[in-house]
Structure 1
Amino acid sequence: MLSANQKRWGVDQWAAYLSQRELPCMPRSRARLLELEDTQRDTLAARDLADIAAADPFLCLRLLRAAEAHRVQRLGHETTTPLAAVMQLGTDTFHTLLLNSPETDETQPGLVDCEARAHLASLLALRWAGARADVSPDEIAMAALLSEIGELLLWSFAPDLPRNALAALHAGHSPRSVQAQVDTCGFRFKDLSLKCALIWHLPPLLTQLIHGIDNSRANLSRLCVDTARHLLTEGAASPALPSDIAEARQLIPGASLDWLIEQLPDLDPTQRAEIASQAAERQACQTPSALS
């Protein structure tokens, strides 16, 4: 339950409060680490550990914060990927950090849904960024994974806020999820993510990618987050998906509409064909200036 004082908090107060909480991890991350250590102890590589972190936004953030603190002490390069974080800290520190982390409550449906969106966004980012020969698809994937961290923190430590926003959306009081957040909480959850990123002194590159504007890499990160939300919240019939795919085609001119849609999970051929047809219509309506 929120206190009377917390009900009056804005994004700055919530960011200050949440940034001081101990970050948990998903239970599957600990289970996966123990499984790997049991089956391939002598051959366990940094890449294996980075893959665990890349599938868990809480753990990824916890690892990144620890690696950045370590980097500052040693004046190394900024840490912008899960693999770089593991290399910065070392496998023993990763092991200790993960096993000493509290675990999230996977009985909390809102948290599970939000985490699933973040995970899907990161997977899309890896595939789509790879198709445009990005200099580091892992950076875009990491930003996509962390873009929902503000909402994830709220589900973990102040679930009444995102629950109220969902209720307003489902009741029709607010037309879109972002508007529901502003109407019920007074701020966008993405703004909370960005405020926390500043408090934690995350690398400016990651903060820019999470912000999701200003350049094609940041736009792609934002698009992956939006696409994951539309697909997992509304399903294949989401009216926003064709526009997402049309925008992805602009950002990744070397990829076909069909290939872009193939990267979306759990769609049957009929659904893929319908999204492709509508995305092609969206493309045809775009002006030359929008395509430049």
Structure 2
Amino acid sequence: MPRSKARLLELEADKGERLAACDLADIAAADPFLCLRLLREAESHRAQRLGHETTSPLGTVMQLGTDAVHKLMLECPETDESNIGLAECEARAHLASRLALRWGAARADISPDEVAMAALLSEIGELLLWSFAAELPLAALAALHSGRSPRSLQAQVDTCGFRFKDLTLKCALIWHLPSLLTQLIRGIDNNRANLSRLCVDTARHISSGPDDPALPADIAAAKEIIPGASLEWLAEQLPGLDEEHVAAIALKAADLLDPTHH
């Protein structure tokens, strides 16, 4: 995304020196295209050296070295931010990764960085379509908004013949992305994978507004993965909600988990 290059130059101007690995990783963690680029680069290096799989933004920067990352960020072609569909999809992916960091921190057995990276990359199939074949996601949106298809996944299958997430998984296979990340993106095998998928779904729902009817079910599902967290705390981690919305969503989530709790 153009903002990543701008951020790099701005921070370096402020500091008067090249950025450290953790600063570069922070920029990458907020940009699915950049994160994917670095990951693919790191994996090709790892294949030559037989190192460990790279499963976090910081890991990719460490694998490549700060000089190589700096050079790649300055030389990369940029995406078109004026593409509204792409910008909205990218914002959802970024939101899903931030949510994974917040929710994942409440469970000691979950590595939030890895779950966040999987959540960030989960929409890469749709992002590629917006970049290179925008007529496909546009057709899916039209089917959804006209009511011909009841849900976004159904709209994708009805108009394009495949789920956009399946394109993400196909790309992950072709690009030899780390098997752990692919498993987390698939989102069905264990608590961490379930959390990654849930963050992606919740980001989609919160993007349509705080009154989205699916949000209480998302919070109830999060509670089952993170039993130590309260429903209120889980709802508070969603961006852009006031206290009233948080309370209403938590109450409905409690009803879903135990209809007799009143």
Match of 1:68 in 2: 43
Q: TM-score under structure 1 normalisation?
A: 0.87
Name the amino acid aligned to 1:235.
Answer: G
1:199 aligns with 2:191: no
- Provide closer, same or farther for how the CA distance between residues 135 and 266 of structure 1 changes in structure 2, counting only shifts above 3 A: closer
Partner of 2:258, secondary structure, is helix
1:150 aligned partner: 125
Report runs of 4+ in structure 1 exceeding 4 Å deviation.
none
What CA distance in whole angstroms lies between the structure 2 residues aligned with 1:251 and 1:68? Answer: 30
Matched with 1:172 is 147
In structure 1, distance between residues paired with 2:168 and 2:241 = 30
- Tell me the equivalent position of 1:96: 71
Higher relative contact order (CA 8 A, sep 6+): 1
Unaligned runs of 5+ in 1: 1-25, 287-292
Q: 1:108-157 CA distances to partner (integer Å, 9 max, x unpaired)? A: 11101100100000000001111111342100000000000000000001
Matched, 1:228 2:227: no
CA deviation profile, 1:238-278 (whole Å, cap 9, x unmatched): 11100000010010011001100111011111111110110
Matched AA of 1:228: A
Partner of 1:214: helix, strand, or coil? Answer: coil
Structure-1 residue corresponding to 2:252 = 278
Residue 2 of structure 2 aligns with which residue?
27
Query: How far did 1:41 drift?
Result: 3.9
Over the aligned positions, Cα root-mean-square deviation in angstroms equals: 1.1
Instruction: Name the CA distance, whole Å, in 1 between partners of 2:64 and 2:104.
Output: 26
Q: How many residues align?
A: 260
Percent identity reads 74
Q: Could you give the per-residue CA deviations for residues 13-40 of structure 1, whole angstroms, max 9, x where no partner exists?
A: xxxxxxxxxxxxx010000011111112
2:222 maps to what in 1?
248
Contact 2:100 2:115 in 1 (8 A): yes
Report the counterpart of residue 131 of structure 1 in structure 2: 106
Q: Distance in 2 between matches of 1:185 and 1:112?
A: 21
TM-score by length of 2: 0.97
Whichever residue aligns with residue 278 of structure 1, its letter is K
1:152-202 deviations in Å (ceiling 9; x for gaps): 000001100001100110011100000000000000000000000000000
**Structure 2: unaligned runs, 5 residues or longer:** none
